[in-house]
């Protein structure tokens, strides 16, 4: 069976508009908080005001007596809940199981009432008396537990000590990144409803199947008794990768009151309840020859984690693979503190880790008097440095070359503080970017009925990158249909299972499964057609059948007029529809390593008197394999760059060191990049389709932010001569 004809094939690779755009702009897209029930009750959380200790007494009488209150649940009356085994998608321990407090903002009660206003008013009446303990908040606290190799991704090769000793040029520095909070625009919300022992949950999740598994374990249910729905999610950036305690509490409250319950986090609760990017302290040592070849890299990162959680990320994964270097050691160490559970945030691990590595490379380039791009090209890794295996595809060299050309890198004067725009200091900076993705198994189902519309389903989510659109394109391409005759559905755990939307792996996994399901469906139609004596295709070989605009015909024919439509085949055989399943997994027959690469170039202008930094130009050259939709793909890179500008210049979650209280848990105080902070961002895609999966994609959501921070930080140094090694780069630090 041949591929779809040329006109249909153009759907993949075309920059079509989002198919879900009209529903979003007209308000018909329903997010988790938008579903209603006639007897819907509302839940509001009560949170701890201490970071460590025990709840000595919790007074609920006044709250229980307040108007409209249905129940107040605390550790004293909450049913026992189980915790799922640790791992991806599994959240912290279930809430309200004992009187211990392990972080500020921990949920210690939930109030359920007829209305949201009644629940909020009653929640303020709950009184808690604590037996407070001295919290662990400092990475250097000798009382804190150290977790070595927490991520299981420590890397080493060669002899770093010997390499550093033999190096002709040395560079050593420490870098720091702060707590940063995911802060999607949409507040996380959960609506839970029980029908006997069947639980239905609308939730802000990045993986309905994973949330279903966690809920099933918590309540001792088979997974078939739980349904999780998330057709639209108002952003997440990684915060939706875990099933958080408030989700469990919404389901628990609904069971207790025997009614559907809605629980929506406040903006302040988003800072303590759904994770954040943990702060890091990173120590980097580089050794090189005077000609620029690296001979040793030593990179250690330290970050906090919660007392009772298994979350871990690798800060040094990119360090092992970005450059050819014979002696490398990369280690991530964690310290258990009285902090809320951290989680993945866009570019987890790589975004802060590459900041340290790429700033160190820039410092080495200055020490050597070498151009930063030339230094990276001199240490280019033609094969995977750790395994020695070839890359499945790699176009990082083209990223450097095309990115530098579009940016005008050759205009860069090497000396810091040597470029100006009037009184403003001008700086150019660049950085490499890498993200290692994993393609998890995925399934999809495609159906086509007498109305001529193909419906493709999978239990994935779309948190904003354009999954609805590109999967519609993939399906339309495979079935030879126009876009308007394909409907892609997702966000329901009863659909064929799909992995989490995170780690830049969903497009490859889901797209390959959708492609497989649609090709299987086309084959099923072709087999019916060639076997029917009344069909113009009777007797044709299935392998010689193709399709265009919904009309199946012989590939050797000059046109498809002699063929027939999907609906005609169904009608002739008395069928209402045909369905087919498809599955995907990462190819294991290729002796190759996958990787996503990019080069980022930034121009900044700095006011020398005020210390104000403005990013005035930015170029991102990205090797993301086949780009299914240049419009949505460029939007992903632009969005990641905006997040990177915030990461570099603005974002920092501040907490009181003594109590752990978040001091800036509002959009008025937690600063994010807005239009005035963002220049025109030039995005160029380079490279070829990656053979690691059938549709040739890599995924670009994570690499979009990786490398932005060091490119800007290096540009700030070039403009000012001041090396700022701690984010965010503020006027106070520059002055």
Rounded Cα distance, 622 and 504, in Å: 14
How far lies 464's CA from each of 186, 237, 574, in Å?
11, 9, 40
Cis ω before 191 (30° cut-off from 0):
no
Token representation of residue 106: 């921990």
Determine how many CB atoms are found less than 10 A away from the CB of residue 529: 25
Residue spans of beta strands (DSSP E) within 452-571: 454-457, 486-489, 545-548, 551-554, 564-565
Q: Which residue has the tokens 């809320």?
A: 340
Rounded Cα distance, 621 and 600, in Å: 6
Give the DSSP letter of residue 500. Answer: -
Label residue 382 exposed, middle or buried (CB < 10 Å: 0-12, 13-18, 19+).
exposed
Rounded Cα distance, 394 and 136, in Å: 44
Q: Which residue has the tokens 């770093």?
A: 160
Contact (CB, 8 A) for 693 and 437:
no
How far lies 191's CA from each of 201, 408, 605, in Å?
6, 52, 47
Closest CA to 149 of 361, 305, 296: 305
Backbone angles phi and psi of 322, in degrees to 5: -70, -30
Cis ω before 728 (30° cut-off from 0):
yes
Angle of helix 506-531 versus helix 467-479 axis, rounded to 10:
30
Contact (CB, 8 A) for 323 and 284:
no
Rounded Cα distance, 364 and 287, in Å: 9
Label residue 534 exposed, middle or buried (CB < 10 Å: 0-12, 13-18, 19+).
exposed
Any catalytic annotation for residue 702?
A: yes
Contact (CB, 8 A) for 582 and 595:
no
Token representation of residue 611: 């210390």
Question: What is the maximal distance between C-alpha atoms in the chain?
Answer: 85
- Catalytic member of 363, 382, 702, 732: 702
Determine how many CB atoms are found less than 10 A away from the CB of residue 224: 11
Contact (CB, 8 A) for 234 and 186:
yes
Residue 288 parent element (H or E):
strand 280-288
Rounded to 5°, the CA angle 330-333-334 comes to 155
Q: Tell me which residues are annotated as active site.
A: 702
């Amino acid at each position: 069976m041949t591929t779809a004809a040329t006109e249909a094939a153009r759907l993949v690779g075309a920059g079509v508009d989002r198919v879900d755009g009209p529903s979003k702009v007209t308000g018909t897209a329903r997010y988790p908080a938008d579903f209603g029930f006639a007897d819907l009750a509302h839940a509001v959380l009560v949170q701890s005001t201490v970071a460590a200790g025990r709840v000595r007494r919790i007074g609920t009488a006044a709250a229980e007596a307040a108007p409209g209150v249905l129940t107040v649940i605390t550790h004293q009356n909450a049913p026992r809940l189980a915790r799922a085994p640790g791992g991806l998608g599994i959240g912290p321990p279930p809430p309200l199981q004992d009187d211990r407090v392990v972080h500020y903002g921990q949920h210690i009660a939930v109030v359920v009432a007829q209305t949201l206003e009644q629940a909020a008013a009653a929640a303020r009446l709950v009184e808690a008396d604590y037996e407070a303990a001295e919290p662990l908040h400092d990475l250097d606290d000798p009382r804190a537990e150290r977790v070595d190799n927490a991520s299981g991704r420590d890397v080493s090769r060669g002899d770093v000590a010997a390499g550093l000793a033999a190096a002709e040029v040395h560079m050593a520095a420490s870098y720091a990144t702060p707590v940063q909070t995911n802060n999607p625009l949409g507040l996380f919300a959960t609506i839970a409803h029980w029908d006997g022992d069947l639980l239905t949950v609308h939730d802000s999740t990045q993986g309905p199947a994973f949330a279903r598994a966690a809920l099933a374990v918590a309540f001792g249910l088979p997974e078939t008794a739980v349904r999780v729905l998330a057709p639209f999610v108002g952003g997440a950036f990684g915060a939706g990768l875990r099933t958080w305690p408030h989700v469990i509490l919404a389901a628990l409250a609904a069971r207790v009151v025997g009614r559907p319950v809605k629980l929506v986090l406040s903006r302040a609760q988003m800072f303590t309840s759904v994770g954040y990017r943990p702060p890091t302290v990173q120590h980097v040592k580089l050794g090189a020859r005077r000609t620029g070849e690296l001979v040793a890299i030593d990179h250690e990162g330290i970050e906090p984690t919660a007392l009772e959680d298994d979350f871990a990320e690798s800060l040094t994964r990119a360090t092992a693979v970005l450059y050819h270097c014979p002696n490398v050691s990369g280690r991530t160490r964690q310290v258990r503190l009285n902090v809320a559970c951290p989680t993945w945030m866009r570019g987890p691990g790589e975004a802060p880790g590459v900041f340290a590595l790429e700033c160190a490379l820039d410092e080495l380039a200055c020490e050597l008097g070498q151009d930063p791009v030339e230094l990276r090209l001199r240490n280019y890794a033609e094969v995977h440095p750790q395994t020695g295996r070839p890359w499945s595809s790699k176009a990082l060299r083209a990223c450097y070359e095309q990115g530098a050309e579009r940016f005008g890198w050759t205009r860069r004067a090497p000396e810091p503080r040597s470029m100006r725009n009037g009184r403003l200091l001008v700086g150019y900076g660049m950085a490499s970017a890498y993200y290692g993705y994993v393609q998890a198994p995925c399934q999809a189902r495609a159906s086509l009925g007498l109305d001529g519309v193909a419906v493709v389903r999978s239990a994935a989510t779309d948190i904003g990158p354009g999954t609805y659109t590109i999967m519609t394109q993939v399906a339309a391409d495979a079935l030879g249909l126009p876009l308007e005759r394909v409907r892609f559905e997702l966000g329901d755990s009863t659909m064929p299972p799909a992995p989490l939307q995170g780690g830049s792996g969903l497009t490859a996994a889901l797209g390959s499964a959708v492609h497989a399901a649609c090709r299987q469906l086309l084959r099923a139609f072709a087999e019916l057609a060639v076997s029917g004596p009344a069909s113009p295709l009777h007797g044709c070989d299935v392998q010689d059948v193709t399709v265009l605009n919904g009309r199946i015909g012989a590939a050797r024919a000059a046109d498809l007029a002699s063929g027939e439509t999907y609906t005609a085949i169904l009608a002739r055989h008395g069928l209402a529809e045909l369905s087919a399943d498809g599955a995907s997994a990462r190819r294991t027959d290729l002796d190759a390593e996958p990787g996503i690469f990019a080069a980022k170039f930034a121009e900044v202008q700095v006011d020398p008197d005020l210390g104000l930094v403005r990013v005035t130009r930015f170029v991102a050259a990205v090797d993301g394999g086949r780009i299914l939709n240049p419009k949505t793909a460029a939007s992903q890179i632009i969005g990641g760059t905006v997040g990177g500008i915030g990461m570099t210049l603005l974002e920092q979650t501040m907490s009181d060191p003594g109590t752990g209280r978040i001091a800036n848990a509002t959009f008025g105080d937690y600063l994010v990049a807005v239009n005035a902070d963002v220049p025109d961002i030039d995005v160029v895609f380079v490279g070829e389709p990656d053979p690691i999966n059938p549709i040739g994609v890599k995924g670009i959501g994570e690499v979009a932010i990786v490398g932005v921070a060091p490119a800007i930080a290096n540009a700030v140094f070039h403009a000012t001569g001041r090396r700022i090694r701690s984010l965010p780069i503020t006027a106070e630090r520059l002055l």
